Structure 1
Amino acid sequence: MQKTIEFLRKANTFYLATVEKDQPRVRPFGAVAEYDGKFYICTNNTKDCFKQMQENTKVEISAMTGGSWIRLTGEVKADERVEAKQAMIDANPSLKNMYKADDDIFEVLYFTKGTSTFYSFTNEPETEVIA
Protein backbone atom coordinates (compact mmCIF):
# COMPACT_ATOMS: atom_id res chain seq x y z
CA MET A 1 0.00 0.00 0.00
CA GLN A 2 2.85 2.38 0.77
CA LYS A 3 4.23 2.31 -2.76
CA THR A 4 0.78 3.15 -4.13
CA ILE A 5 0.29 6.07 -1.74
CA GLU A 6 3.77 7.44 -2.45
CA PHE A 7 3.24 7.20 -6.21
CA LEU A 8 -0.13 8.97 -6.12
CA ARG A 9 1.21 11.72 -3.87
CA LYS A 10 4.17 12.23 -6.18
CA ALA A 11 1.85 12.40 -9.19
CA ASN A 12 -0.23 14.97 -7.28
CA THR A 13 -3.29 14.44 -9.51
CA PHE A 14 -4.77 11.05 -10.28
CA TYR A 15 -7.86 10.08 -12.22
CA LEU A 16 -10.70 8.07 -10.72
CA ALA A 17 -13.00 6.11 -13.03
CA THR A 18 -16.51 5.11 -12.02
CA VAL A 19 -19.52 3.87 -13.95
CA GLU A 20 -22.87 5.60 -14.42
CA LYS A 21 -25.33 3.13 -15.92
CA ASP A 22 -23.37 2.00 -18.99
CA GLN A 23 -21.10 5.06 -19.29
CA PRO A 24 -17.61 5.32 -17.76
CA ARG A 25 -16.93 8.57 -15.88
CA VAL A 26 -13.46 9.89 -15.08
CA ARG A 27 -12.44 12.87 -12.97
CA PRO A 28 -9.30 14.22 -11.29
CA PHE A 29 -8.66 13.59 -7.59
CA GLY A 30 -5.73 14.48 -5.39
CA ALA A 31 -6.10 13.19 -1.82
CA VAL A 32 -5.16 9.78 -0.44
CA ALA A 33 -4.48 8.45 3.04
CA GLU A 34 -3.78 5.32 4.98
CA TYR A 35 -5.84 4.80 8.10
CA ASP A 36 -6.48 1.73 10.21
CA GLY A 37 -4.45 -0.33 7.71
CA LYS A 38 -6.65 0.68 4.77
CA PHE A 39 -6.18 2.83 1.67
CA TYR A 40 -8.59 5.80 1.50
CA ILE A 41 -9.82 8.37 -1.01
CA CYS A 42 -12.34 11.13 -0.35
CA THR A 43 -15.08 13.13 -2.02
CA ASN A 44 -18.23 15.13 -1.39
CA ASN A 45 -21.52 13.24 -1.06
CA THR A 46 -23.34 15.77 -3.26
CA LYS A 47 -21.19 14.82 -6.25
CA ASP A 48 -22.20 12.31 -8.89
CA CYS A 49 -19.02 10.30 -8.35
CA PHE A 50 -20.06 9.49 -4.77
CA LYS A 51 -23.48 8.34 -5.93
CA GLN A 52 -21.84 6.24 -8.66
CA MET A 53 -19.50 4.57 -6.14
CA GLN A 54 -22.50 3.75 -3.94
CA GLU A 55 -24.34 2.10 -6.84
CA ASN A 56 -21.30 0.30 -8.30
CA THR A 57 -18.38 -0.05 -5.90
CA LYS A 58 -15.89 -0.99 -8.63
CA VAL A 59 -13.44 1.80 -9.49
CA GLU A 60 -10.09 2.35 -11.17
CA ILE A 61 -7.44 4.95 -10.54
CA SER A 62 -4.72 5.93 -12.97
CA ALA A 63 -1.87 8.41 -12.72
CA MET A 64 1.42 9.14 -14.44
CA THR A 65 4.62 10.76 -13.26
CA GLY A 66 7.82 10.84 -15.24
CA GLY A 67 7.94 7.76 -17.43
CA SER A 68 5.94 5.62 -15.00
CA TRP A 69 2.24 5.13 -14.46
CA ILE A 70 -0.10 3.25 -12.15
CA ARG A 71 -3.43 1.53 -12.51
CA LEU A 72 -5.25 0.70 -9.29
CA THR A 73 -8.29 -1.54 -9.66
CA GLY A 74 -10.61 -2.35 -6.81
CA GLU A 75 -13.79 -1.85 -4.87
CA VAL A 76 -14.56 0.88 -2.33
CA LYS A 77 -16.82 1.34 0.67
CA ALA A 78 -17.75 4.51 2.57
CA ASP A 79 -16.48 4.84 6.14
CA GLU A 80 -18.68 7.05 8.31
CA ARG A 81 -16.26 7.25 11.24
CA VAL A 82 -15.19 10.77 12.16
CA GLU A 83 -11.74 9.37 13.00
CA ALA A 84 -11.27 8.14 9.42
CA LYS A 85 -12.38 11.50 8.05
CA GLN A 86 -10.02 13.33 10.38
CA ALA A 87 -7.14 11.06 9.31
CA MET A 88 -7.81 12.03 5.69
CA ILE A 89 -7.80 15.73 6.57
CA ASP A 90 -4.61 15.33 8.62
CA ALA A 91 -2.87 13.56 5.72
CA ASN A 92 -4.08 16.21 3.22
CA PRO A 93 -4.09 19.64 4.93
CA SER A 94 -5.53 21.36 1.85
CA LEU A 95 -8.83 19.61 2.63
CA LYS A 96 -9.21 21.84 5.72
CA ASN A 97 -10.30 24.62 3.37
CA MET A 98 -13.24 22.53 2.13
CA TYR A 99 -14.31 20.07 4.81
CA LYS A 100 -14.54 19.26 8.49
CA ALA A 101 -14.47 15.71 9.80
CA ASP A 102 -17.95 16.10 11.25
CA ASP A 103 -19.68 18.00 8.45
CA ASP A 104 -22.58 16.56 6.47
CA ILE A 105 -20.94 16.34 3.03
CA PHE A 106 -17.39 15.01 3.52
CA GLU A 107 -17.02 11.32 2.69
CA VAL A 108 -14.07 8.97 2.89
CA LEU A 109 -14.01 5.63 1.13
CA TYR A 110 -11.57 2.77 1.58
CA PHE A 111 -10.64 -0.05 -0.75
CA THR A 112 -12.17 -3.37 0.30
CA LYS A 113 -10.38 -5.04 -2.62
CA GLY A 114 -7.57 -3.56 -4.62
CA THR A 115 -4.45 -4.15 -6.63
CA SER A 116 -2.06 -1.56 -8.00
CA THR A 117 0.03 -2.27 -11.06
CA PHE A 118 3.04 -0.06 -11.74
CA TYR A 119 4.20 0.33 -15.32
CA SER A 120 7.07 2.02 -17.12
CA PHE A 121 8.59 2.04 -20.57
CA THR A 122 11.75 0.37 -19.26
CA ASN A 123 10.72 -2.14 -16.56
CA GLU A 124 8.37 -5.08 -16.25
CA PRO A 125 5.09 -4.29 -14.47
CA GLU A 126 5.02 -4.65 -10.66
CA THR A 127 1.94 -5.23 -8.53
CA GLU A 128 1.02 -4.32 -4.98
CA VAL A 129 -2.08 -5.60 -3.19
CA ILE A 130 -3.65 -2.76 -1.23
CA ALA A 131 -6.64 -4.57 0.25
Structure 2
Amino acid sequence: MSDIEKVDEMLTKAEVFYLATVNENKPKVRPLGFHLLYEDKIYFGVGTFKEVYKQLEANQFTEIAAWDGEHFLRYYGEAVLEKNEDVVEKAFELMPEIAETYKANNWEMGVFYLDKATAEIRNMMAVEETYTFEY
Protein backbone atom coordinates (compact mmCIF):
# COMPACT_ATOMS: atom_id res chain seq x y z
CA MET A 1 0.00 0.00 0.00
CA SER A 2 1.38 3.42 -0.94
CA ASP A 3 1.75 6.28 1.54
CA ILE A 4 -1.15 8.25 0.02
CA GLU A 5 -3.33 5.12 0.16
CA LYS A 6 -2.54 4.83 3.89
CA VAL A 7 -3.70 8.42 4.44
CA ASP A 8 -6.84 7.81 2.37
CA GLU A 9 -7.60 4.63 4.31
CA MET A 10 -7.31 6.49 7.59
CA LEU A 11 -9.73 9.20 6.39
CA THR A 12 -12.15 6.49 5.27
CA LYS A 13 -11.95 4.76 8.63
CA ALA A 14 -12.49 8.05 10.48
CA GLU A 15 -15.58 8.85 8.35
CA VAL A 16 -15.68 12.47 9.59
CA PHE A 17 -12.58 14.63 9.67
CA TYR A 18 -11.97 18.32 10.32
CA LEU A 19 -10.66 20.94 7.92
CA ALA A 20 -8.99 24.04 9.35
CA THR A 21 -8.70 27.28 7.41
CA VAL A 22 -7.92 30.87 8.27
CA ASN A 23 -10.59 33.57 8.23
CA GLU A 24 -9.17 37.07 8.70
CA ASN A 25 -6.29 35.71 10.83
CA LYS A 26 -8.61 33.58 12.96
CA PRO A 27 -8.87 29.79 12.75
CA LYS A 28 -12.03 28.24 11.36
CA VAL A 29 -12.68 24.50 11.59
CA ARG A 30 -15.51 22.47 10.13
CA PRO A 31 -16.33 18.78 9.74
CA LEU A 32 -16.13 17.15 6.32
CA GLY A 33 -16.69 13.62 5.12
CA PHE A 34 -15.98 13.57 1.40
CA HIS A 35 -12.58 12.60 0.08
CA LEU A 36 -11.58 10.76 -3.07
CA LEU A 37 -8.28 9.16 -3.98
CA TYR A 38 -7.85 9.96 -7.66
CA GLU A 39 -4.63 9.78 -9.68
CA ASP A 40 -2.52 9.47 -6.50
CA LYS A 41 -3.99 12.59 -4.88
CA ILE A 42 -6.65 12.83 -2.21
CA TYR A 43 -9.31 15.28 -3.33
CA PHE A 44 -11.74 17.07 -1.06
CA GLY A 45 -14.84 18.95 -2.17
CA VAL A 46 -16.68 22.02 -0.93
CA GLY A 47 -19.14 24.39 -2.54
CA THR A 48 -17.52 27.33 -4.33
CA PHE A 49 -20.26 29.53 -2.84
CA LYS A 50 -19.23 28.65 0.74
CA GLU A 51 -16.96 30.65 3.02
CA VAL A 52 -14.57 27.71 3.33
CA TYR A 53 -13.83 27.89 -0.41
CA LYS A 54 -13.26 31.64 -0.24
CA GLN A 55 -10.95 31.12 2.75
CA LEU A 56 -8.90 28.57 0.79
CA GLU A 57 -8.69 30.99 -2.13
CA ALA A 58 -7.38 33.73 0.17
CA ASN A 59 -4.97 31.52 2.13
CA GLN A 60 -4.11 28.09 0.78
CA PHE A 61 -2.48 26.81 3.98
CA THR A 62 -4.78 24.28 5.58
CA GLU A 63 -4.82 21.29 7.88
CA ILE A 64 -7.02 18.23 8.17
CA ALA A 65 -7.31 16.32 11.44
CA ALA A 66 -8.93 12.93 11.93
CA TRP A 67 -9.28 10.21 14.53
CA ASP A 68 -9.84 6.67 13.29
CA GLY A 69 -10.47 5.14 16.70
CA GLU A 70 -6.82 4.18 17.15
CA HIS A 71 -4.67 6.96 15.73
CA PHE A 72 -4.78 10.66 14.96
CA LEU A 73 -4.03 12.00 11.51
CA ARG A 74 -2.66 15.47 10.89
CA TYR A 75 -2.51 16.18 7.15
CA TYR A 76 -1.41 19.69 6.25
CA GLY A 77 -0.10 21.65 3.31
CA GLU A 78 -1.22 24.00 0.58
CA ALA A 79 -4.67 23.53 -0.94
CA VAL A 80 -4.58 23.44 -4.72
CA LEU A 81 -8.02 24.48 -5.94
CA GLU A 82 -8.66 22.80 -9.24
CA LYS A 83 -11.35 22.69 -11.91
CA ASN A 84 -11.58 18.93 -12.33
CA GLU A 85 -14.90 17.73 -13.73
CA ASP A 86 -13.87 14.07 -13.46
CA VAL A 87 -13.45 14.40 -9.70
CA VAL A 88 -16.70 16.36 -9.36
CA GLU A 89 -18.60 13.70 -11.32
CA LYS A 90 -17.11 10.91 -9.19
CA ALA A 91 -18.05 12.87 -6.06
CA PHE A 92 -21.61 13.22 -7.29
CA GLU A 93 -21.75 9.49 -8.09
CA LEU A 94 -20.70 8.72 -4.51
CA MET A 95 -23.09 11.29 -3.02
CA PRO A 96 -26.22 11.43 -5.20
CA GLU A 97 -28.18 13.42 -2.60
CA ILE A 98 -25.50 16.13 -2.65
CA ALA A 99 -25.47 16.06 -6.45
CA GLU A 100 -29.22 16.58 -6.52
CA THR A 101 -29.03 19.57 -4.18
CA TYR A 102 -26.12 21.17 -6.06
CA LYS A 103 -27.75 20.70 -9.45
CA ALA A 104 -31.17 21.92 -8.25
CA ASN A 105 -29.59 25.11 -6.89
CA ASN A 106 -27.10 25.57 -9.73
CA TRP A 107 -24.22 25.38 -7.24
CA GLU A 108 -20.66 24.48 -8.17
CA MET A 109 -18.56 21.92 -6.32
CA GLY A 110 -14.98 23.06 -5.87
CA VAL A 111 -12.32 20.40 -5.41
CA PHE A 112 -8.83 20.60 -4.02
CA TYR A 113 -5.91 18.46 -2.94
CA LEU A 114 -2.96 19.22 -0.69
CA ASP A 115 0.46 19.93 -2.16
CA LYS A 116 3.73 20.40 -0.31
CA ALA A 117 1.92 18.32 2.27
CA THR A 118 2.82 16.29 5.32
CA ALA A 119 0.76 13.54 6.87
CA GLU A 120 1.51 12.49 10.43
CA ILE A 121 -0.02 9.40 11.95
CA ARG A 122 0.17 9.80 15.70
CA ASN A 123 -0.73 8.11 18.91
CA MET A 124 -1.52 10.17 22.00
CA MET A 125 2.15 10.82 22.72
CA ALA A 126 4.19 10.75 19.53
CA VAL A 127 4.33 10.66 15.75
CA GLU A 128 4.47 7.06 14.56
CA GLU A 129 4.69 7.63 10.79
CA THR A 130 5.32 10.68 8.62
CA TYR A 131 4.77 11.01 4.87
CA THR A 132 5.38 13.94 2.55
CA PHE A 133 3.71 14.64 -0.76
CA GLU A 134 4.71 17.10 -3.50
CA TYR A 135 3.05 17.22 -6.87
Same fold (TM over 0.5): yes
Alignment counterpart, residue 29 of structure 1, candidates 24, 27, 32: 32
1:120 matched residue in structure 2: 123
Question: How far has the Cα of 1:82 moved from its partner?
Answer: 1.0
2:43 matched residue in structure 1: 40
2:54 matched residue in structure 1: 51
2:8 matched residue in structure 1: 5
1:7-60 Cα distance to aligned partner (Å, 9 max, x none): 011000000000011100000000111222222110011111000000000000
1:96 matched residue in structure 2: 96
1:53 and 1:83 mapped to 2: Cα distance?
Answer: 21
2:17 and 2:119 mapped to 1: Cα distance?
Answer: 13
1:73 matched residue in structure 2: 76
Question: How far has the Cα of 1:67 moved from its partner?
Answer: 3.0
Question: Aligned pair in 2 of structure 1 residues 78, 122: CA closer, same or farther (>3 Å)?
Answer: closer
- TM-score of the superposed pair, with normalisation by structure 2: 0.84
Structure 1 contact 16–62 (Cα < 8 Å) conserved: yes
Q: Match of 2:97, as an amino acid? A: N
1:80 and 1:123 mapped to 2: Cα distance?
Answer: 37
Question: How far has the Cα of 1:111 moved from its partner?
Answer: 1.6
RMSD in angstroms over aligned alpha carbons? 2.1
* Sequence identity (%): 28
1:122 and 1:17 mapped to 2: Cα distance?
Answer: 22
Q: Match of 1:28, as an amino acid? A: P
1:66-109 Cα distance to aligned partner (Å, 9 max, x none): 2311101111112212112123334xx2x221127986411111
Matched, 1:87 2:96: no
Structure 1 contact 40–88 (Cα < 8 Å) conserved: no
Structure having the higher helix fraction is: 2
Unpaired stretches in structure 1, ≥5 consecutive residues: none
